Amino acid sequence: MKISHFSVDHPVVIAMLVIALCVFGIYSFLGLNMEFMGDISLPSVEVLAFYPGAGATDVEHDVTAILEEEFVTLPDFKGIVSKSFDSYCWITINFRDSIDPYDMLPEVRDRIRRLEAQLPEDLLGEPQAIVGGATMIPVFMFSVEGGEDRVSLSRYVKDEMIPQITKIPGVANVSIIGDDQLELRITLSTEKLQATGISALQVYQVLSASNARLPIGEALYRGRSSDIRFDGAFSTSEDIALLPVGADASGAIVRLADVADMRFEPAERDVYVDSGGKSLLMVSVTKRLDGNVLSINRAIKKVLESVQERTEGAITTTILADDSRDVGASLSTVTTSGLLGVVMAVIVIIIFLSDIRATIIISVSIPLSILFTLTGMRVAGLTINLISLSGLVVALGMVVDASIVMLEQVYRHYKSGEMGVVETIKTGASEVGSSIMASTLTTVVVFIPIALMKGLVGNIVRDLAVSLIFALLASLVVALAVVPFLMRVLLKPQDLLVKRDAFSARPVAAIERFYGRVIKRSFRRPRFIITAATGILVLTFVVAQFLGYSFIPSTDNGDFYIDMEFAVGTPLGKTREKAQLAEEIIRREIDELESVTIFSGQESGFAFTGSARNAYARVLLVDRKLRNRSVHEIMLSIQDSLVAELPGATIKTTNGGYDKLIGFISGGGGYGLTLTGENLETLVATADEIKGVLNRDPDVVSVNTNSTYDSETLVLDVSHELMGSVGISSYEAAVTSAILFRGLDAGVFTHTDGKRYDIQLDSDLKNMPISENTLATIFVPGGAGENVSFADISSLHRELTISQINKIDRAKSVTISATLVSEDTSGINKRMGEYLKENPLPVGVSSQSGGILELIEDSLGPVAIALGIGIFLVYSVMVIQFERFRQPFIIMVSIPFCLIGVVGGLLAFGSTISLIAVIGVIALGGVVVNNAIILIDYTNLLRERREKELDSTMVTREQQLEILDSSIIDGASSRIRPIFMTTLTTIFGVVPMAFATGLGSEIYAPLGQAIAGGLISSTIITLYLVPILYRLTERRRIYKRNSLQEAHHA
């Protein structure tokens, strides 16, 4: 190879390039972000709109449907998912994979502004649009304690601590949960209102209109131009108390203080955070996409330490969640696996070569390849995470393969003593350079389709593919340029050396002779060997049926979530009591507990508000080394305990860590089935039937549906005819009832001390029992000025309503999700498939897979396409290499036989068929052919040499056949050592990964198991099957060529 010749002839140039590579590699490593997993978010924008007091049906009709109709016309639109709850809606707009959602954000916000006139007037502000994805998940959470004055503590956190955290590079958002903010609450007395004849609506209108501050332009004042501002805003609570709101029957002025009680008090909370009997003020921090979680969390901890020092311990903080702990532990685990793999690979080299210089040369190729890879990762914008590091670990065993083949071939000539050092290196490089390039490129090209995959699957595996591509290309450059350079520097003239064979030379020579005899004998029974190999492969497919399947193996990160849903109508206070009882049960039943935090009024998802009857617990366990049970065993145990001790509550446990991330991106885990249609009642009824079936399934722990008629609404049903007869509008009656029963925001006032306070207007009827008699005590002013009782224009009745309405691409949907006892979904998928086949869905209702099954089905197409393209590219590279179409087909035969080892490896470790394991199979498609390439390429070389020694025009058919057989035997047996060395270094490189048990190892261990098993089976069968197939095809080619020649001469 000319590259190798150049490196031998110009060592100084190569040395300088190696130094530059080291410098840039170290610089790139220092600049790479570190995280548990790379960003797997799909391009989407989230829109959140609040409609206080409205039910889910009204929210869907008045807000969600209007927004959806506008959003579907967005450019590069792909799909839309909406969820309408009581008082708010959450819409997810999905765009095509190549679109940057930040580019679409201005357009979405502009569309929202255009719809202002069509949306309800009492919408709480403008709907908010943000870029969605995994960056919405907090990377750091902590609680703050300090004295009894929670209002002052909340203000200190907001004014002092959050600004410091926000300034940290990489931080996206900092939010507070459970804080207390003072507001001015004005509670109207319905009795006083009735006595004075003042209506609640009148008070609200006067209060809102009297608090105004507006710029009104410019004017000349004393000869100078000045801005003019009208200032009629409240500045003290006394201003508000003395505000005239009307007059009584005698004409006396009635002030606000005459009909209302005014006080400063903390605003009502929607969510409570508790732990250990204490109410917590909690702060959560999210990072930007380019943020480094290790440096961010380290900086946050310094802020917390400084706060405690400045306040001399008056304010203390407790860390509740720290992603940097998981990141550090998981990266340490995979790095340890990689280092062990390197050590084992070096030991293989020492055993086979027994030469310190050869060992040094091969060992140096590993860090050089890694440095080159790190530079490529920095340029490509990758991060150091579990998946990209897994790719590097897999590559560690592969990167030495090319160098080993180069070194071994040079050493064969070097130890013969027939040539000088420089000539030896050039000769050896020329003989194997092309096969090295071909074998490396076959592995590289198989990863190109994976690197180009789109969607969630592409986001997950892209880092692995790209890091492997860089590492393998680096190994090719090192083998062709750096290894010859190092041999030029380290190898001495042969006459200065004491000849010494490796202590493995005799065993390897014996194996070569034995293998040669076996190959010779196999020529006599080719059909038996082909049939036996095929039979084993068929048996493998049968055995594979016993393997379960999952999307991504579930991890044990030591944290999980417990969602609790209590009976319809449960108030927040009661929910909090029951959630605290659940905390006591958790603390009693889990000995491995480190901490537990209870959130009342919120679900464990990422909704910004929650139902009063929902609560969840975040449970953090001690390090897995200190406990005997896995997180999954603990989850099943606490699920049973809570169900038994909290009757009537719906309990659902979900794993944390990467499982939570996958669930967030995909819409859930476990088993899922989504029903779509237009009739919501039919959807809910069908979902309830399926829920009953799932509850009886042995693999199911708990079942939930995301829509059901689970709410009761008390409807104040007014008569338009009666209202019209007394001159009352529907809006006036609605606002009056909202003030009296719920309360309304009446503005903001800035106190003279500079602090801003919200003004909340409600009445003494709020949170009080309501009956028909209540309607007789409240009134609204009629058109003629008289007060009209609500009892005269309305009636009260109760309706069963739905608290959540879901739509997928504007079609109503209901999703049934089930938490399973394990990550294997094969059993339940089969049983539910049979059930749906025997029990067809109602007309107008269609279904689609959800949960893990949806992810698996969505990944099958892209993965199959990537596998097909990868195999085609491998074949193309070999055709170019051999300049023949038939011999690459022989080499391709080794690919399916790797499945024997893959299935065996997964069965041996009790793993399931997952996306990561399938990526291992695709990787093997490019790796297992390398041995066959080396074998056939060298056999071809021997045949050409031996035929050239004879007069090519006088070579008979018998001589050609004899040369063919001898070349196959000699070529195959002489390649045993490099094949063993390259195969063993690759296998030993991934064996520590296969046996890994640290944090996050569940994700990447199947990759090592699949590759190690596949390499073992394919190597064994390749060594027997490929020579036989090569002989059969070449003998046929020789017979055909000679027949044509005889026919031509005749």
Tell me the pTM.
0.78
- Cβ atoms of 920 and 1006 within 8 Å: the answer is yes
Locus of tokens 């050869």: 358
Q: How far apart are CA 996 and CA 1006, in angstroms?
A: 10
**For residue 56, which of 604, 574, 611, 608 has the smallest C-alpha distance?**
611
- Cβ atoms of 203 and 258 within 8 Å: the answer is no
Cα angle 315, 321, 323; round to 5: 130
Question: What is the DSSP pairing of strand 593-600 with strand 614-621?
Answer: antiparallel
Burial of 279 (0-12, 13-18, 19+ CB in 10 A): middle
1-31+354-500 and 504-545+884-1050 share one CATH topology? yes
pLDDT tens, residue by residue, 149-190: 888 888 888 888 999 999 998 888 888 888 888 888 999 888
What CATH superfamily classification does 504-545+884-1050 receive?
Answer: Multidrug efflux transporter AcrB transmembrane domain (1.20.1640.10)
- CA dihedral for 988, 992, 995, 1001, sign (positive or negative): negative
Burial of 92 (0-12, 13-18, 19+ CB in 10 A): middle
Q: How far apart are CA 420 and CA 496, in angstroms?
A: 12
Locus of tokens 């042995």: 698
Domain spans in the chain, listed from the N-terminal domain onward = 1-31+354-500, 182-266+712-801, 504-545+884-1050, 566-610+622-711+813-854
Cα-based distances in Å from 913 to 375, 545, 841, 867, 905? 33, 10, 30, 16, 11
Q: How far apart are CA 804 and CA 711, in angstroms?
A: 10
- Cβ atoms of 96 and 88 within 8 Å: the answer is no
Query: For residue 1, which amino acid is it?
Result: M
- Cβ atoms of 318 and 146 within 8 Å: the answer is no
Instruction: Give residue 242's Cα distance to chain centre.
Output: 57
- Cβ atoms of 743 and 766 within 8 Å: the answer is yes
pLDDT tens, residue by residue, 192-247: 888 888 888 888 888 888 887 777 777 777 777 787 877 778 888 888 888 888 88
Q: Residue 338, Cβ neighbours under 10 Å: how many?
A: 24
Has domain 182-266+712-801 been given CATH number 3.30.2090.10? yes
In the chain, which residues have pLDDT < 70? 1, 133-135, 353-354, 416-418, 493-505, 605-610, 663-670, 710-711, 783-785, 823, 850-858, 951-955, 1044-1050
- Cβ atoms of 1027 and 522 within 8 Å: the answer is yes
Q: How far apart are CA 206 and CA 1037, in angstroms?
A: 101
Cα-based distances in Å from 161 to 291, 471, 804? 20, 44, 36
Strand partners, 1019: none
The token pair at 305 is: 């330490």
CATH code that applies to domain 1-31+354-500 = 1.20.1640.10
Burial pattern 247-273, b for ≥16 Cβ within 10 A else e, equals: eeeeeeebebbbbbeeeeeeeebbbbb
